[in-house]
Every structure is written in structure tokens, then in C-alpha cells.
Amino acid sequence: MVVKAKRDRADARSGEAGFSLVELLVVLAIIGMIATMVTPQVLGYLGRAKGETARIQVKNIAQAVELYYLDLGTYPTSQQGLQALVQPTGPAWRGPYVRDSRGLNDPWGQPYLYRAPGAGGKPYEVYSLGSDTKPGGSDDAADVTSN
């Protein structure tokens, strides 16, 4: 009698428990459609965030170059480049002027570029070529410069 009652309860539950294959497929299809709509927006936000990070880092590096100038009375040469901010270049050098040399790489993993004199008659220029690593470009591929 007890065994029969347990079997009856198990039979009653087995027909109602869980989701059908069709229900699971519908849910997966809905999740796929949502992911398809959201992914391009998220990627766009990431691209803009990297561009903004590059702009902030270029400003910070430019400030470090100015501190270098205050200590040594001259800007690093193009040959010395940004390594002059982390490696001593003379007796008046009081650096490092940046905390970590990894900060001299842009968000796309490329080293920031430096030239002296800079464009437009400026004494120097710190810049990144953007995500495409080529001069010019637009959006996240646009160049980021200190000038």
C-alpha cells in the first residue's frame, strides 16, 4: 500500500515537472535576439571608453614632460622619447616622472609616441595613433594628441 502511494505521487509529478523542449528553445531564441541587439552598443561604449582613456593618459604624460622640463630646463629630444621620463638623462633628473613605464602604452597596447618639436610650433607632442595604429582615422581609430 505504501509502495503504491509513492508510485502514484511520482507519476503525478513526472508529467508536470520541468520545461518542455519547445519552451527552452523559445527562451534561448529570445536571449539570442537580446544579445544581438545589445552587443554592438556595448562594443561602441568600449571603443569610446578607450578613446577617453587615451586622452586622459596623453594629458598626464604631457604633464610629466612639463615636470621634466622644470627640472632639466629642456624637453626630451625625439631620440630620448618618453623613456626620458623613466630613465635618468642627466644630473638634474629627479624622476621618474611617471609611476610605471606601462603607463606609456595606450589602451590598444601600443606605446605612446613623442616628437620634439611638435606640430604647430609646439615644443613637443605626445600622441597615439588610435586603435588602427595608422595616422588619421575617426571614432576610436582617431589619433589622440597633446596639442
Each domain of the chain, given as residue ranges in start order, spans 21-145
DSSP state of 18: S
Does the structure show a pLDDT above 70 at 11? no
Stretch 53-65: mean pLDDT, rounded? 93
Q: Which of 5-19, 37-51, 81-95 has the lowest mean pLDDT?
A: 5-19
The residue-averaged pLDDT of 11-27 equals: 76
Which residues, other chains included, contact 114 with Cβ-Cβ below 8 Å and sequence gap of 6+?
Answer: 65, 76, 78, 81, 82, 124, 125, 126, 127
Distance CA 7, CA 17 (A): 15
User: Do the strands 113-115 and 144-145 form a parallel or antiparallel pair, or are they unpaired?
Assistant: unpaired
Tell me the CA distances in angstroms from 71 to 12, 52, 91, one per residue in order: 85, 29, 10
Of 37-46, 75-84, 111-120, which range is least confident?
37-46
Options 3.10.110.10, 3.40.50.1860, 3.40.50.300, 3.30.700.10; CATH for 21-145 is 3.30.700.10
User: What is the structure's pLDDT at 16?
Assistant: 64
The candidate with the shortest Cα–Cα distance to 78, out of 20, 119, 37, is 119
E-state strands within 14-146 = 113-115, 125-128, 144-145
Q: Band of the pLDDT at 32, cuts 50, 70, 90?
A: confident
